[in-house]
Structure 1
Amino acid sequence: MIYHPTLNILRAAFTCICLSSVISANAVPFHAKQIPADSYFVLSLKTKKIISDAFLQDSHTWAPILNDWSNTKPELIEFFIDPNSSGLNLDHPIHFFSSLQGIQKPDPIIGIFASVKNPDLADASLHAIAENYKIQKKPSGYPRFGSDKLPYEFGRKGKFAYFVAVISRTKQTGGLPNDVYLDEIVRNLLKKPSEKKIPTPLINHFSKLKDASLYLDGTGIVRLAEAFWPSNQWQTAAPIIETITNRSIGIYANSNQGNLKVEARNLLENNHSKEIRSSPSEAIQQIPGDAPLIAKLDFDSDSIKRIGSQWFDQTLKMFSGGQMDLSFQIPGFNLTAKDLLDSPSGEWVLGLGSFNSVVIPPSERFPTGEVQLNPVLLSGIGLAEKETLRKLSIGMETTNALGSILRMRGIEVIEKEKHLWFSSPEYVREIGFDRTLRPLPAEREKFLNSHEFALDLRVLPLTQSIRRNRTLPYDYYKMLDWLERISNVRIFSQNNSLIFNFRMYEKTENPFHTLLDFLGQEMIDRRNASLYQAIAQNDFQSLQKAVQMGALINANDHFGHSPLHYAAYKGNEGFVDFLLRNGGDPNARSKHLSTPLHSAAWGRNLKVAEILLEDGADVNAETDEGETAAMTAALRGEKDLLEILFSLSADPHAKDIHGSNLYDLASAGGHIEILDILESLQVKNNHPFHAAAGKGDLKTIKKMLKNGRSINEKDAFGATPLIIATVSGKIDIVKFLLGKKADPKIEAKDGYTMMHAAAFSGKKELVQLAYDLGLDINARYGQDGVTPVDVGEDASEAMPFLKSLGGRRGWELGRLPVK
């Protein structure tokens, strides 16, 4: 039989219409009545809720983008700050659609429809857009704007604002001019709803709308593919196309605090529940219970045989010129194609334990390099015939192509009872002993056995396995960090639907906020990449070019610092001055609310600090932990900067959220001259034992211990004198305190350890001492999991030693496991 796609598509469409019993548009919600009945794509967004959930107005990520738009796209900024100013009725969804115009060689049409609440405001918004982009008004009894040269138009008619464009117009002899052609399309779109007929699947879709909803019609998608897909490829895809054309899919996303649910539903099937085919699986018991990803599928083997046989048979005949069919003998297996298709019993399980990542250096083929992920897995498929099972097992051990690929990947093939197993070396033992070291938890097993298809993914253990490679590219770490904002993914079948549940790492986080944060941060990082590179390389010419090209000077990078913070820390006063003169904010806030003045103090860059102060930097600006720039200067020993800050009214008595003051911080740094200044200003010494440890005052320490002072006394931050002495690098005091049985394992607040203190001191001997005492080289401190390498200085003698012991930065290690 010759396959003719158009006839089959029309036949499928006619069947769907008959089954659906085309219904009048009166059953469609008002806001969707203008959507073309033959749309193959409809995306409906409840914009008001999405903007509200995303907290765009208060988003630190989006603030610099919105500020930039206020100059270049004022109509957009107005919409995001006050959506009601557009005149649209955002209580109703905004619909994006695509349909095909024409029969023989259809043109793809895209469009937007939105309900209007205030016609006057809507018209004003449309006029503003047209004026901003220099788009001419069309003669009409209602607002219309467009171009004579390009086939697009937007406007408002009645209760709807619209946008319509022809994406790719077919070139035909004697074709209509663009404006006439577009007039015809718009006229048809704006017909009264009563004149339209809407198919049942689309009506069903509109009755289920969630926060974000997507409708896909198989017949239209296949027609689109036919228009742009080479005709000689249609024969191979025939059975798949038959399946697609009989599908109308609805996809519905609903967001709640800490969770996103996405449902994909076949709109042509009945809604009633059907009997679950799933049954308890013996094979699932072989999968290690701690595997980050476990999946199970109970499938209809008869259906697979029917669809697979049709597709495989047609494919074999096409590629062999009719010489091969399902009786074809598969090389190396002593099985026919039909034997292979008949073999599955309907059960498949998978466990993915980890990824062994390999970084491939840049090459001509991959200029930026490549990261190859090699999975550690265990997978089994049930086979109905024991003879087939044996032949497949033996065939994959021979020298055929499939066997060679498996061996190259380190995958072993194991024949076990009624299953054929594919295992990485790490899991071969699980199959050999017929039991796993870590059984499947009861709750996880119940979930997997309750559905025909079920998948459970614990994100963090899987991404952590990738992070073991210490040479991953920076952008890869960024991607992993975004993925780790999701803690768990569950996918499962239920009745006629496939459900996707995404649970967030932060239980209070809204998924739409995360998604839009990701989009905003990607926009910033792409736009500012050359600016950060220029600062890193001290390249002033490139810095100027990046700013001229529209870099967002006050926008933070993925890990929370703006270009101005980075330049202030690096200490190039010319760069900082240039950024300030080109719109840089001297009080720009980082992820943790530090300012560039904090960065200059931390980097010990007095001249940069002076430039920032001349430009209006706030001397008393606080981080999210209440740390002022004066506190940073006291800790870092920047006496000259501290005196300047005090002369500008910086508060010498300030305290952070832990209760630590400038005297505590200067003591921790062991900065005697600064302590003298603070004493002259009557700043309290609230922890004299700790101050003595930081200053290296052994005489006072001995006296206090003799008078009964506890060797492990804690200050406001929860630090012991041992930690303070370590921070200040007083090796003799550290050894003395340890000799008096000071406990090196006591942590200060939020997990700050003696190893962090040793790294901060910059002294290799103290890092070695902490390591010998059993302190974790990658101990994590605070919500972000700051490591000793994070608090150390790159130029110190301790840093290369830390790294040689396996020390890594927090962003390399990723998020901390959820407790």
Structure 2
Amino acid sequence: MTKRILLLISLFTVNAFCVENLEDLFNKIKAGDATAVRKIITKNPSLLNDKDEYDTTPLMMAFDRKNEEIMQILLELGADIDAQDSYGDTILNTAAMTGNLKMVQFIVQSPKHPNINTQNNKGNTPLMSAVKSEHGDVADYLLKYHADVTLKNKAGETALLIAIEGADYNNSDIVKALLDHGADASIKNHNGDTLLIIATSKKHIATVQLLLEDGANVNAQGDADFTALIEAAKNGFKDILVLLLQYGANVNIENKYDQKASDLAYFNKHKDIENLLNLANKLDQFLSGKIGTGSDKFDDIRAVINSASATTIKTDPELQMIVLRTLFTLKPHIDDTNSYEYKNGSTILLGIGKKILSEYINTLEKNRKQEAESLIDKIFKPASSSSAE
């Protein structure tokens, strides 16, 4: 009985001594006493990677105090640079999360070579943590050292999805960096929305541009079968809608409620967008060959010109220039129609069309008038005699 009591007392004393030493070590770290820290670890090497009740190691404590000297000592003595706290965070993950670029550089460049892709309890890597907190400089640095852009956290999110879905502002620099390092632009969120739809809903036009340039499917459908174009039309985001049209957005795709983009523009009283979509629809029919020949082609071209004369377009310089540039790309088709007119003794399209578009010039700024005048002349310049035959 006496021996058992003595044994229990002995075990208690040893444990108390270790806890006391760990607490003392933490106090020395907090005080910035590097000499004392080295001395304690030398005497009690087991304390080097010991943890308190919050799974905090001496290295984490030194990191928390931003004391690189003590961190260096601990690392030299064999501290685990990839140790994780109760949240699963390493010191690199925490440094990335807080945007401490200097500390991130110190950790990454350590001879201990930390695992740059360690995932915490939520599955977030240091890159994801930096992106989530919108620390672009840290994200850039981690990418330079080959942070993996393809990893997903437990919510199924990649760093790129986090950058676009969680952004409060248009953080296109981070998005570009991720895309440049091979991030997948086709991933969807838990609702089934594409990155393009998400960026459109947030009115982040620079991000929309980057995704389109990277090859994102402009017509991919997400939640409720919405496309980015339908989302832009619903919200009245004209600049984004125009950009989507330039990349081939299909104006005739319907959502699960049988609504096209033009329907949502109409319901939400975005008249300028409704007119633009109607024009785009006619141009789409024109380019896809859904037009006749002879008089049928004449009627279709005339419908395009009539759409271009809508009041909301005639008073919007941005839309006017888009109409002119688009019609210029249709020059060969317009030439064919003009030829048909000449053969039938008519110049209606040539006359009316040029008159309508010439009215645009009155609302354009000086730096655009010259381009507009040049485009109009080229669009309605009569076809050569050889092409008219």
TM over 0.5: no
More helix by share: 2
More strand by share: 1
Normalised by the length of structure 1, the TM-score is: 0.21
Higher RCO structure, 1 or 2 (CA under 8 Å, sep 6+)? 1
Normalised by the length of structure 2, the TM-score is: 0.42
